[in-house]
Chain A
Amino acid sequence: MKINTEKVSFVEPLALESGEILHGFDLMTETYGELNYAKDNAVLVCHAFSGNHHAAGKRDGEKKPGWWDELIGDGKTIDTRNYFVVAVNNIGGCHGSTGPATPNNESNQFSGASFPEVSVSDWVKTQKLLADHFRIDCWEMVAGGSLGGMQALQWAISYPNRVKKAAIIAASSKISTQNIALNEVAREIIKKDEDFHNGDYLSKDVSPKKGLKAARMLGHITYLSESNMSKRFGRRLQDPKNKIDADVNYEVENYLQYKGEQFANTFDANSYILMTKAMDSFDPAKDFDNDLIKCLQNIQAKLLVISFDSDWLFPKEYGIEIQMSAIKAGIDSSYIELEGDYGHDSFLFYSEQYSVALTNFLKSDG
């Protein structure tokens, strides 16, 4: 599989949904496979909350491959022998694209907390500029899970004639009150870290890692399911030799400590807050008198909405709501509910039914 990692710079100012202007920006991108002569074999994959442009393959020295490696590659669900797959790190992120932790061009200062609020539709706008950059007139498919699924939906709404198929996986047309509440707890935990300094921690050369870690531990629980946690950890006690923290008793505690710490070392706190805010505010129907049906009416892409039975963060009712609105709007849309062992995170992992559905959808006539 041909992998190409590239930072693409855009110099034109970008008008954000918030009304603020971003004076040029960088997008960190990774592509897999090759764009054909007709440029009609391109697939955009959009990352979820903490993902990035590294969707597949393994870099030198890396323990784990990209976040959707189980589905993207030669001979895999999204077969890179036939498709040119594009992944980006969204703006506001912290993996190479312009965000709160990248130094400002003019002042060379980190924008930190003053980095403007970005939205799902802003991300889609930047991804559209990237499509222009690659001279891709129309994506064969835009796909993503969770916050990535919201981008896939937004693509179909924002640019009806530039996407043929949209796979909206483990996502919703807006998140629930409970999800906003959980996000707010995570933000509060970060903000209360003494090293947060109202978001200006980078200029003080510190990082609110403790807060970030605890926020991630909370988040991580919501990405799994109760049965999955029981199966994986049960009530087994942690082997004292591998304890991350002396106070840890159970394996599940140690696991969360480990995951939280790993995350805190690689993620930026301002990005965390920004991404959760983007998720909270996602509601494409708000521009259509809060009428989702009206909002979906102009879609020309074919939709595939997928929910997982063990997902309690984005339960199947959300997928069904999109599907039912799509039917009322009279647009092409299918809905399937899959068994998933991993709760909300099920969208990340291969299962035969999941793979067959996506492959068939990708192959079906546009």
Chain B
Amino acid sequence: MDNTLKLIVLDWIPSQSKVIDFGCGDGALLKILSEQKSIIGYGVENDPDKINACIINGVSVIQQDIDAGIHNYKGMGFDVAVMASSIQCLRKPRDAMKNILKVANECVITLPNFGNWELRLGILNGKMPSSAQLPAKWYETKNLHLCTIADFEELCREESFTIKKNVYLNRKGKSSWLANKLPNLFAAQAVYLIG
């Protein structure tokens, strides 16, 4: 997770809250959150190398496949759930979203925007596009359900997920005027606080 994104999440998550990070990677976000906002954090991860990185980082981690496990964390008193760049990797993103909002009062979701002009150009070129946010080749990508900002926000409206806050970031990971004016075309990434 890059720095701008970390700062946004750090700002949104209240001090001393109980946080669960689905697809927590090496636990870097949880580590910063516990250092700077005294949160109680748990990561869910299924990659053994990343789990080891969490352990050495001193971050509490649970080895589990997210697809199989979100609903297990209901009723555990989480204030915030984080799902950074992994919603599109899940088998059933819509169900996952519904479950996440049962696990925690609020959730932070970051999303690579498939509607970004660079990717649209790639498609126009007749090839599966790639970008800094979506670097993997089509045959080795973990992404199953890529979507655009417009698609995701439509889903939120349909399912009555309230978008409490959002930030759109350009290809450099910065919040720019253009990315906020026409996010579906110019944002490379979107960050949401959903309740």
Contacts and interface: CB of A to CB of B under 8 A. Distances in A.
A304 B76 contact: no
Contact of B56 (A323, A328, A363): A363
Nearest to A330: B40
Nearest to A363: B56
Contacts of A302: 58, 60
Interface residues of A, number: 21
Which range contains the number of B residues in contact with the other chain? 20 to 34
Contacts of A323: 62
A254 B148 CA distance: 65
B188 interface: no
B56 A327 contact: no
A365 B61 CA distance: 15
Given A330-B77, A353-B48, A360 B55 contact: yes
Interface in A142-158: none
A335 B46 CA distance: 11
Interface in A5-21: none
A324 interface: yes
A332 B40 CA distance: 8
A349 interface: no
Given A330-B40, A365-B58, A360 B63 contact: no
A332 B58 CA distance: 9
A334 B76 contact: no
A336 B63 contact: yes
A364 B57 contact: yes
B111 interface: no
Given A337-B63, A357-B52, A327 B58 contact: no
B40 A334 contact: no
A327 B76 contact: yes
A364 B60 contact: no
A334 B54 CA distance: 9
B193 to A, nearest CB: 23
Contacts of A365: 58
A333 interface: yes
A327 B55 contact: no
Interface of A: 302, 304, 323-324, 327-328, 330, 332-337, 353, 356-357, 360-361, 363-365
Interface of B: 18, 40, 42, 48, 51-52, 54-63, 72-73, 75-77
10 contacts: A302-B58, A324-B72, A327-B73, A332-B60, A334-B51, A337-B63, A357-B52, A360-B56, A361-B55, A364-B55
Given A328-B75, A330-B77, A334-B51, 8 more contacts: A327-B62, A327-B73, A332-B60, A334-B59, A334-B60, A337-B63, A363-B56, A364-B57
Q: Which 7 A-B pairs have the closest CB atoms?
A: A360-B56, A360-B55, A364-B58, A336-B63, A365-B58, A335-B62, A334-B61
